[in-house]
Structure 1
Amino acid sequence: MTVVLARSADLTPDVVRRVSWHGEQVVLAPDAVSSIGRRRAEFVAFVDAHRGRHLYGITTRHHHGAKQVLDADARAEYARRLPSTPASTGPGLPERVVRAVVLARLADVLNGTAAVRPETATALAAMLDGPMPHVPGRGHGEPGNVIALGHLFRARFDGTLEIGEGMALINGAPVSAAVLADAVLAGQGRITVAEDVAALAAIAVRAPGAHYDEELARVWGDEHQAATLERMRKLMAGAEGPTLPYQAPVSFRSAPRMLGWTRRALAQAADGARISLRASSNNPIFVGPGTRPPLGEVLSNGGYHDPLAAPGLDALARSWADLAQLVTAQVSRLVERPDGIVASEPEAQVSLLDMTSAGWAEEARAAAGTSLIGLGPGGQTDTGTAEVLAWRRAGDAGAALDAGLAVLAVVAAHTIGHRGEVAPPALRPLADAVLSAFPLGTGAVGFGPGLGGVARHLAERVFPGPATAPSAGPGGRPR
């Protein structure tokens, strides 16, 4: 399949899934290419009429060079190449994320605020036909995304450009939009897995149905908590055996509310991703003569700072970490039940997995930091943005939750199985997959492989379909 882009509104999280996760190619619609050509002509006419003005990265160099207008020869030399950017080193961003960055870079092009030539625009989209360059995933202390974008575009475009195109490629916030969208896509799979495992654990602890009653949705007054309650009731329908005559531990009663909150955080992050993906983020931007007659205008601005990305990612990291604490509490309650796993074990075996879940909960807690605006090196560049760091934290917290959920799924399935019961119909595929990877009676020598098999099964639901990188990176699954 090929994605055809006609306008920036076509850049959605779903399109990111198709292009970055499933490897689909991208072409620009013919009308979009024609519009790009018209905007380029308007931009060139504006620059020709204002060659003596300080136009950032156009008639001047960037950074400290913005103070001096270039003569004709210097302007031509500067225009041909990608402006100098800092570099970093170390492991790269996953290929799926780099593909999402290329996709998001097209927003300014489709909006006409990056007045590149049609051939540059089509070459940018064509990068998605092949493997991505190495883009370091750490050491991003710049405002905006210039380090990542320099690594991404230098080999392909350096020496091929014309006036104004260099800044249109390396400035802005497409990395910020891409990592936010990537975390949202992972979160959409993760929340369903978390609800499934929480429902299986509720069956294992014999939680009363009152904890998930539809009346709670009305009195709690939140659509996202209502959605979790409804889904858990459906998942638990047809459960065998009696329920507790008294209330289940707090971690089981709190789970629907916290899962509902996570749904809300995910919805807010998804809304932010939709805005960020289609927004113009470049500095400067060009607005045409239809907006600013007679020739248009170049506007220097702070578009490179995406204010939606890091807070949205931090909220997801916090949610994954909170759920990881609930998960390890539920594991502990299940393994210590006198009529549960411990009653069927000749010595402590599966019941020891509460130590594992506690370790993953601590990893999730450590990952859930706050990503504040960074202090830049000084001068004009006096602050930095933290979206890549926030993405890594959200990914690490999510991966820790995934591992904890694998432990809880094993303990819950074994608890139900040792009672001689089977999971209700909606949860039976999950329970069967868990017991297939980690059967009842597994000896200690098989715990690692068994738990790994369960973790892989859950991860395939968080990251469905073909991955586009050898390693999926934070929160991802390796191929």
Structure 2
Amino acid sequence: MSTVHIKPVPVTPEEVIAVARDHARVVIDAEAREAMAASRAIVDAIEREGRPVYGVSTGFGALANTFVEPERRAELQHALIRSHAAGVGDPMPEEVVRAMMLLRVRSLAMGRSGVRPEIAEGLAALLNADITPWVPRHGSLGASGDLAPLAHCAMVLLGEGWVREADGSRVDAGPVLERAGLRPITLSSKEGLALINGTDGMLGMLILAVADLRHLLTMADVCAALSNEAMLGSDRPFQPELHEIRPQPGQAKSAANIHKLLQDSEVMDSHRNDLAHAVQDAYSMRCAPQVAGAARDVLAYAETVADQELRSVVDNPVVLPDGRVESTGNFHGAPLGYAADFLGIAATDVGSISERRVDRLLDITRNRGLPAFLSPDPGVNSGLMIAQYTAAGIVAENRRLSAPASVDSVPTSGMQEDHVSMGWAAACKLRTIIDNLGTLLAVEMLAATQGLQLRLPLIPSPAARAATAAVGPIAGKPGPDQFLAPVIEQVKRLIESPALRHEIEEAAGPLA
């Protein structure tokens, strides 16, 4: 999609990805502007009446009981943004920042935040001008939302703070806005608070992670099938009737994928009735759908959480249509933190079982006739020995990253914010785990396709032929040792792109 229209209704995950990754244009429709104007009118009325309302006429956090005079309330909002833009560390990727900005526009457009339409339009203008705020990695605790990251975005609206240039450098925001023909915005009461009180950063990362992991779980099934075929495994454990008796939905999908991918294979037929063949394969082969399928079920849970959050008003306080302005705890990131942690655990285990299949493929005592480390000339050559070391190191890192962040609350703000979600941290480490999973699957695909080449002249399945045809130009045939690092990187890019999956589906049929 080239344009995303913002209305006072939820956006879809596909729209978030279109803006974050494909730079789709953002247009705020009239009904969203009307909803924001109506809620702003309520805040203006409260101002005229002189009622004490958190964030409108008071300070923030532990300073919530401090009354702020009317003439200083605009100053209060600007001071809030500047003080909360306290993040440090490397900048977040462009796609994360763009997703976060779009989700803040979406939340404001729901008409419950009491801001002028100009605030949401200012964020949309930054997106449409491809201006990406420099948002440091560290600063959010995921309580009161992603305060520091969103404050760094808001700073750019004010013509302050930093922007990330296309080459990765950091520059002052003011001149960048001027070149784009954009004017800094002056905030009114409540507007600074509304710009930073949300779960938009962790939600954006979760939506992007769900999309990436959905693809990688299908590719994990592909890799499992190729490894099974290369190791002369059995396809019998993947028969549909064996999974109907354990009705776990993700398991059934993964098993169906693997079963389909193993059809029409001379390699599989070569040992189907061999009495010497193992009655049962190792768990890493036979239980592949149980592990990847369970991860699919966790993914479905995370998708539900993200969908519910996309339909949520995440701000504090919120402006209700009847004129009330009420404090809430909806900014607390626990639902997203739990989902990200759980998804990280599942993705780690999918990578772990993948590495076990690689180890089995390389071990001459367990790989059923393949040469040691898949080298036709072992001894002088080490084959894929150290590629498995790399995979083992990554598995260990993912296990460390799988320690849940969401149980690691640290009290802040003078004990006013005495339980925080760490949802931002959970989502950040989930991104690393998923990136690592791509590398693990690349090592497995490299090993499996080389193993299948060593089974020639037996012809593998159509799916395996498609995968080998794609990997072959990168890795070549098994032979003398080569510089492996660029090979693994290129196969990883192949795994992560939709093109290889499309070629495999062309050969074997659609995959779940």
TM-score, normalised with respect to structure 2:
0.84
In structure 2, the CA distance between the partners of 1:243 and 1:114, relative to structure 1 (3 Å rule), is: farther
CA distance in structure 2 between the partners assigned to 1:307 and 1:459 by the alignment: 29
The alignment status of 1:234 with 2:235, answered yes or no, reads no
The counterpart of 1:340, out of the listed 336, 349, 370, is 370
Q: How far is 1:251 from its partner? A: 0.7
Query: After superposition, where does 1:214-293 map in structure 2 within 5 Å?
Result: 214-241=240-267, 242-243=270-271, 245=277, 246-289=279-322
CA distance in structure 1 between the partners assigned to 2:32 and 2:440 by the alignment: 47
Match of 2:180 in 1: none
In structure 2, the CA distance between the partners of 1:198 and 1:142, relative to structure 1 (3 Å rule), is: closer
CA distance in structure 1 between the partners assigned to 2:375 and 2:48 by the alignment: 83
In structure 2, the CA distance between the partners of 1:368 and 1:121, relative to structure 1 (3 Å rule), is: same
State the SS of the aligned residue for 2:219: helix
Asked if the contact 1:142–1:376 (Cα under 8 Å) also holds between the matched residues in 2, the reply is: no
In structure 2, the CA distance between the partners of 1:287 and 1:462, relative to structure 1 (3 Å rule), is: farther
Q: How far is 1:152 from its partner? A: 1.1
The counterpart of 2:434, out of the listed 364, 382, 398, is 398
Q: Structure 2: give runs of 5+ residues left out of the alignment.
A: 160-184, 502-512
Match of 1:414 in 2: 450
Identity of aligned residues (%): 27
CA distance in structure 2 between the partners assigned to 1:345 and 1:169 by the alignment: 61
Q: How far is 1:136 from its partner? A: 0.7
Asked if the contact 1:174–1:277 (Cα under 8 Å) also holds between the matched residues in 2, the reply is: no
Asked if the contact 1:146–1:172 (Cα under 8 Å) also holds between the matched residues in 2, the reply is: yes
The counterpart of 2:496, out of the listed 441, 447, 459, is 459
In structure 2, the CA distance between the partners of 1:142 and 1:277, relative to structure 1 (3 Å rule), is: closer
Greater RCO (CA < 8 Å, at least 6 residues apart): 1
The alignment status of 1:56 with 2:54, answered yes or no, reads yes
Match of 1:165 in 2: 191
CA distance in structure 2 between the partners assigned to 1:341 and 1:128 by the alignment: 54
Asked if the contact 1:8–1:106 (Cα under 8 Å) also holds between the matched residues in 2, the reply is: no
State the SS of the aligned residue for 2:328: coil
Deviations 1:114-149 (A, max 9, x none): 121122221122221122111011243462211111
Match of 1:71 in 2: 69
In structure 2, the CA distance between the partners of 1:206 and 1:351, relative to structure 1 (3 Å rule), is: same
Match of 1:124 in 2: 123
State the SS of the aligned residue for 1:4: strand
Q: How far is 1:16 from its partner? A: 1.2
Match of 1:21 in 2: 21
Q: How far is 1:256 from its partner? A: 0.7
- Aligned partner letter, 1:340: L
State the SS of the aligned residue for 2:132: coil
In structure 2, the CA distance between the partners of 1:99 and 1:76, relative to structure 1 (3 Å rule), is: closer
Match of 2:396 in 1: 362
Q: How far is 1:79 from its partner? A: 4.6
CA distance in structure 1 between the partners assigned to 2:500 and 2:33 by the alignment: 33
Asked if the contact 1:141–1:376 (Cα under 8 Å) also holds between the matched residues in 2, the reply is: no
The alignment status of 1:326 with 2:315, answered yes or no, reads no
Match of 1:316 in 2: 343
In structure 2, the CA distance between the partners of 1:127 and 1:323, relative to structure 1 (3 Å rule), is: same
State the SS of the aligned residue for 2:68: coil
Q: How far is 1:224 from its partner? A: 1.4
Asked if the contact 1:374–1:386 (Cα under 8 Å) also holds between the matched residues in 2, the reply is: yes
- Aligned partner letter, 2:62: H
- Aligned partner letter, 1:410: L
Match of 2:325 in 1: 298
Asked if the contact 1:178–1:277 (Cα under 8 Å) also holds between the matched residues in 2, the reply is: no
- Aligned partner letter, 1:2: T
CA distance in structure 2 between the partners assigned to 1:132 and 1:228 by the alignment: 39
Q: How far is 1:181 from its partner? A: 1.0
Match of 1:474 in 2: none
Q: Structure 1: give runs of 5+ residues left out of the alignment.
A: 290-295, 465-479
Higher mean C-alpha displacement, 16-25 vs 427-436: 427-436
- Aligned partner letter, 2:221: E
Query: How many residues matched?
Result: 455
Q: Give me the CA root mean square deviation.
A: 2.2
Asked if the contact 1:262–1:316 (Cα under 8 Å) also holds between the matched residues in 2, the reply is: yes
CA distance in structure 2 between the partners assigned to 1:373 and 1:304 by the alignment: 17
